[in-house]
Chain A
């Protein structure tokens, strides 16, 4: 209540003009409830009808199979929606929520349809494998999408993924120029020797990827250790050059973190989308074969 009063006062607006944060979260809760109810409303009738027909006529698999095929098409259509941004097909956010809900229903129906996580036939096993790849990569993607953006925010120094290699190259050139200038001015070889032996390795390409991925700071520690180890051999003028190189190395450390975290946010899609496409194709073939030979 106090914060609302503050905001109102802050903006010097009448109360009616202000959206209320409490209402926003209530709305978010309402939307989540709506999706849950929709998910259940979509799943329960199909599951119940399949169960009933299986008991009475032994044809429950037809219901779950056709439902799975329809759901698979709807799930794949999310990718199509992204390619048609000009058409009023609903927001991508709504599509994503529906994608998650229908994905959950499809998984439940798949278990009901296949009867076992690992079916008998070779083709069905392939289908099961691809289905699992889609589900697991989807779950992993969702997990990464919830986890990594915050870590990227914490890293700071926002950068576009495609520009990272060019930025690293620029940093490397700047560092090398600093070393060369320092050698020319000071005449000592300590900085250049150290650069060639260790810092050059660091500036070559993204480093400490696993540490960045798991939230560690090995890169930062490495820079600190290297710089402090080198500093004792340098005079004041070289020390100033080293300060600048340290700043470049720290920026490089940020870029490395962005490289691996943003890369992970993209990488899972390279499994999920092709596997999804393959699943659609395999499911269609499965249906065709079934109708030709089994029904």
Chain B
């Protein structure tokens, strides 16, 4: 690197594998992996020269050894990687899983008080100043931080909570969990964690090492690249995806809570997995030349043949009105559709058509439980639905305007949307200053955005339920924090390719040209173009008191809200 007072700094433009997942991964380990049955059948010639198979294993994977009892993944954590068991035995704890207190969950890293106290003295007027030495020091960089201090089931205070017999000290095998905990073995060759990694969501089960277990942890980018080029892996991942959805959604859904194991097995055997729309819906949505396609899942007036349990994506519930459709509500993971009509059919003995329509907003994953199964196993055991979706159409149309707007703009995706009450906002920009002060002088949002009445949704990352910005990231720099699931960018591994910024449907990610601490721009030595980094709101990750923008608003005008409460806000006023 060349530097000088009056000259620009140069920095080799970052590339995908500048920061491997684990710098200790050796060529010998890669050779060993390539010889395993899971990888030897893959046709390496199908991989491009820029991202060969051995490169993926070398840079996007790492080998981790877990001691008996140690948790490999925890239910509820957000995952950015999947795991392949190489040796030993792991075990998944099936729903309902373990109590949270036994999972050793820490909400966040403890705050660095020294850094917080010194922060006012470290502020600089130079925009986007970075210490570029960190980018060139491989050891100093870490990949997507997905690991916390390990937690072991053998370390719990009272072994009776988990085991029928006391674990022997120094034992090489964890004794079986008590009868109330159902588990499933994961022998060598098993792949797990791929649903959370590819679906950008939470881990659905806890997995622990029963014996000393050697696993291959694969960044989701590695998983994506391999499944795109190998049919066996694609099928394996899709099978796992579907079985996980079946297992978790059916076992945990409140409607099926009254079912015993046998009935649940029968329901699972008959249930179908359906998917509508495109997983990469944001591409259509960003191109606003035409209204984005909304594949119809169920049409008003048609006869239902099964209950739809929504497992991913969003759906719009609407009724016909004039020449268009009026939105009554939207559905997301955990919601269901068609219960009113199906239950009424079962109760009255006559067929009842859908009273509303359901269409996919972007994509929609659903499980369809056939009517015959519901009539036999579910309806006799549940109370009649208390409210009907169609009843909501009784309210004035004007009351739906806010909902229509949020659905149309897809703000329903946000989990921490920055909502500003313009009737209270005095436009003082204290929120912007607070954001800048906590991010080295650089605000991470713009106090402008779409407005509806007195509400403004500002251009700040909404930490989406479906963070499509993560889809194309080649390095995994943009990822979900393990605890809390915030979408954050690892500045050290971001290569400034702009994929996330171009994918964000809401224009909430900005690419910035970085500077050295002396104020000189940092340039690529060949093209002399500035080195870019993606930046966005990180909800003040690491601050003990939460997002500083919200706390800096003296008028209570700015809130970070989940869309559901946002709709309630509007409906209540």
Contact = CB atoms under 8 A, between A and B. Distances in A.
Contacts of A9: 329, 387-389, 391-392
Given A83-B120, A85-B434, A86-B548, A11 B554 contact: no
A148 interface: yes
Chain B CB count within 10 A is highest, among A7, A9, A84, A93, for: A9
A13 B385 CA distance: 12
B510 to A, nearest CB: 16
B382 to A, nearest CB: 13
Interface in A113-164: 145, 148-150, 152-153, 156, 158-161
A82 B331 contact: no
Interface stretch (B166-174, B198-206, B359-367, B420-428): B420-428
Interface stretch (B21-29, B83-91, B483-491, B562-570): B562-570
Given A92-B553, A145-B426, A6 B392 contact: yes
Given A83-B437, A265-B427, A96 B567 contact: no
A96 B555 contact: yes
Given A19-B565, A158-B448, A91 B551 contact: yes
Nearest to A159: B448
B389 A12 contact: yes
A5 interface: yes
Contact of A10 (B543, B545, B556, B571): B571
B141 interface: no
Chain B contact residues: over half helix, strand or loop, or mixed? mixed
A166 to B, nearest CB: 14
B447 interface: yes
A218 interface: no
Nearest to B420: A158
B544 interface: yes
B438 A85 contact: yes
A21 B423 contact: no
A262 to B, nearest CB: 5
Contacts of B550: 91
Contact of A93 (B392, B427, B555, B564): B555
Interface in A258-272: 262, 265-266
Contacts of B448: 158-160
Contacts of A145: 426, 555
B147 interface: no
A188 to B, nearest CB: 38
B430 interface: yes
B392 A10 contact: yes
A285 B426 CA distance: 35
Given A3-B572, A92-B430, A84 B554 contact: no
B552 A265 contact: no
Contacts of A96: 554-555
Contacts of A95: 554
A167 to B, nearest CB: 12
A85 B568 contact: no
A265 B88 CA distance: 67
Contacts of A8: 387
Contact of A86 (B119, B392, B403): B119
Interface in B333-386: 335
Interface in A233-261: none
A85 B552 contact: yes
Contacts of B433: 82, 85
A93 B553 contact: yes
A149 B424 contact: yes
Contact of A11 (B329, B437, B545, B548): B329
Contacts of B572: 3, 7, 21, 24
A86 B395 CA distance: 44
Given A3-B572, A11-B329, A87-B117, A158 B553 contact: no
Interface string A52-92: 00000000000000000000000000000011111110011
Nearest to A83: B120
A12 B331 contact: yes
Contacts of B427: 149, 152, 160-161, 262, 265
Contact of B571 (A7, A87, A158, A266): A7
A93 B554 contact: yes
A18 interface: yes
Nearest to A148: B426
Chain B CB count within 10 A is highest, among A13, A83, A92, A262, for: A92
Chain B CB count within 10 A is highest, among A6, A18, A150, for: A6
Interface residues of B, number: 56
A33 B424 CA distance: 21
B335 A149 contact: no
Interface in B526-573: 540, 543-545, 548, 550-557, 564-565, 567-568, 571-573
Interface string A1-34: 0010111111111000011010010000000000
Interface string B136-149: 00000000000000
Contacts of A153: 422-423, 453-454
A189 B300 CA distance: 61
A244 B428 CA distance: 33
Contacts of A93: 553-556
A261 B63 CA distance: 61
A150 B117 contact: no
Contacts of B422: 149, 152-153, 158
Contacts of B399: 6
B451 interface: yes
B513 interface: no
Nearest to A2: B395
Contact of A85 (B423, B437, B454): B437
Nearest to B453: A153
Contacts of B293: none
Interface in A213-246: none
A256 B313 CA distance: 44
Interface string B386-423: 01110110010001000100000000000000000011
B456 interface: yes
B548 A85 contact: yes
Contact of B568 (A18, A84, A158): A18
B423 A149 contact: yes
Contacts of B438: 85-86
B328 interface: yes
Contact of A87 (B116, B328, B391, B456): B116
A79 B550 CA distance: 17
A253 to B, nearest CB: 18
A279 B565 CA distance: 44
Contacts of A3: 571-572
B426 A149 contact: yes
Nearest to A144: B426
Given A21-B568, A85-B434, A88-B545, 6 more contacts: A10-B571, A12-B329, A82-B433, A85-B435, A152-B422, A160-B448
27 contacts: A6-B399, A10-B392, A12-B335, A12-B389, A19-B568, A21-B568, A21-B573, A82-B430, A84-B437, A85-B435, A85-B552, A86-B540, A86-B548, A87-B545, A91-B553, A92-B430, A92-B551, A92-B553, A145-B426, A148-B426, A149-B423, A149-B555, A153-B423, A153-B454, A161-B429, A262-B427, A266-B428
